Amino acid sequence: MILKWLRQTRKPVLFRRNELDQNLLAAVNAELLRQPGLSFSSLCKEALHQRLLNNHYSDQTRSTDKRIESLEAQLHSVEQRFFAQEKNRLEQLEAQLVQLSLQMARLTGGTVAPMPPLPVSDLLPEAEEVDEVVEDPVLSRLSGLIDDF
């Protein structure tokens, strides 16, 4: 029974004489007059599409948006834990470095002042500065002679 209904290509629309149906029919006629190229069939299909499919898609979109928000919150939480762990590891390494410096000082018999922590920018290699080359007067005279030669 249902398969027979699905195979049919024409579906009648019945507008009764009640006020609601008559208002709907007037709106349909106004829309068809406003857009002469539009057929009643296309108008019905468009309305059905918006009513049935867009609601379904918007529900999926809301569900997807909630899932994205949840994943972003989880990612933020993981990042915070990761950075806290890395900070602890860095502090432990700095403490071990200070201990090793003190042990080196004991072994060498000298005293080593504890090193203050270096900012990250100090740990990066800097570009070498090129000293300005002072021109040698003898070479400048010889270059003049070579040019003349």
Domain boundaries, the chain: 11-113
For residue 82, name the pLDDT band (cuts at 50, 70, 90).
very high
For residue 64, name the pLDDT band (cuts at 50, 70, 90).
confident
> Taking residues 5-17, what's their average pLDDT?
75
Q: Distances in Å between the alpha carbon of 100 and those of 2, 87, 112, 116?
A: 83, 20, 10, 14
Distance CA 88, CA 45 (A): 63
Q: How far apart are the first and last CA of the chain?
A: 110
The residue that leads in pLDDT, 12 or 28, is: 28
In DSSP notation, 44-55 reads: HHHHHIIIIIIH
User: Cβ(15)–Cβ(25) under 8 Å?
Assistant: yes
Distance CA 101, CA 115 (A): 9
User: What is the predicted pLDDT for the residue at 88?
Assistant: 93
